[in-house]
Amino acid sequence: MSGPLSLSITATDGPARVGTITTPRGEIQTPVFMPVGTRAAVKTLDTGDLERLGPPIVLSNTYHLMERPGADLIEKMGGLHSFMDWSGHMLTDSGGYQIFSLEPKISEDGATFKSVYDGSKVHLTPERSVQVQEQLGADIAMVLDVCPPLPSTRQVQVDAVERTLRWAERSKVAHTRADQAQFGIVQGGVDPELRAMSAAATVDIGFDGYAVGGLSVGETRDEMIPALAAATAGLPVDAPRYFMGLGDPIGLVEAVAHGIDMFDCVLPTRLARHGTALTSEGRLNLKNLRFREDDRPIDPNFDHPLSSRFSRAYVRHLLNTNESTAGRIITLHNLAWLADLTAKMRSAIEAGTFQQLREDIWAAWDGKASPA
């Protein structure tokens, strides 16, 4: 391993691939789903829960940690790993997506916006984002990108792509930690031509890995897939590919079908807090009356010690009496279920049966066969 990260591909089935990412901290088997711990904690869980779930990597948010408790404090506490007592890998996003949800003022220098905590003015530059992530000590850091909403005009997307590239160049120059990998981000909305251009130019700058940003933000799947395909076609085969903010089962299996290795999303934890479980039957809203006397586990086809011991009837009771334990149980289930799905994808790719798994996921979650 010559740099802070390397990728070894061990099996393929069409564009879908199985690999091992190696860092100074250890190995990550891909495809991999990364639970989101925005403020250095996955909601309703603690580090012991994560250790029992076993994800090799967790994501945290640069912007939120920069605001509370502050990068200086986390650095003083020994970095994110020490702060939350987590020995696995950490990825920090740049805060770009969260910032652009705050309707910032964008200049060539950076983004200016109001703090979600106290309304004060915050100015974040690509260099500052790099500095904060180096202080946090993540194993993988993301460049600051421009993430416009969808739909946007072509000119807005063109401007976002071009500025993201200029910011990426600055981010690479600013990056100094030899033990921290840095990923570039491909933008371009749902325009395949822009996606291809962004991918090629980002690769020319040169990063340890590459992310696809600005998708899974409300566009249709028919719009998303051509844009994703155009982006991944231009990325090197020997570097990790990361789809940012993707967490639904069909989305995951389609991303893997197009060569993606990594994904993250708040979906499984957010759904859990509202009583919805991911299962082999699709989404289940466990608040429904039909589960009142259902003594089966959340998903009878998925046996996991952290959640299978509890019946649907019990979880429904907790939900309907506003017991926070319900959200915790379903969060554990949803994250374990997604980890199992990615393990099944790895096994199917190795066996050459990925297309059958893809069709099974579509049938369970959409009621029809997947695209070829």
- Give Cα separations from 21 to 11, 182, 204 (angstroms): 14, 14, 22
Which tokens hold the place of 53? 């779930």
Contact indicator for 62, 213 with CB cutoff of 8 Å? no
Give the separation between CA 371 and CA 291, rounded to whole angstroms.
34
Which residue intervals of the chain are DSSP H helices?
47-53, 62-67, 71-76, 80-84, 96-100, 126-136, 154-174, 192-205, 221-233, 249-257, 267-273, 312-320, 325-351, 354-366
Give the separation between CA 97 and CA 324, rounded to whole angstroms.
28
Strand partners, 34: 264
* Residues classed as catalytic: 93, 264
Q: Which of 241, 333, 266, 269 has the alpha carbon at shortest distance from 30?
A: 241
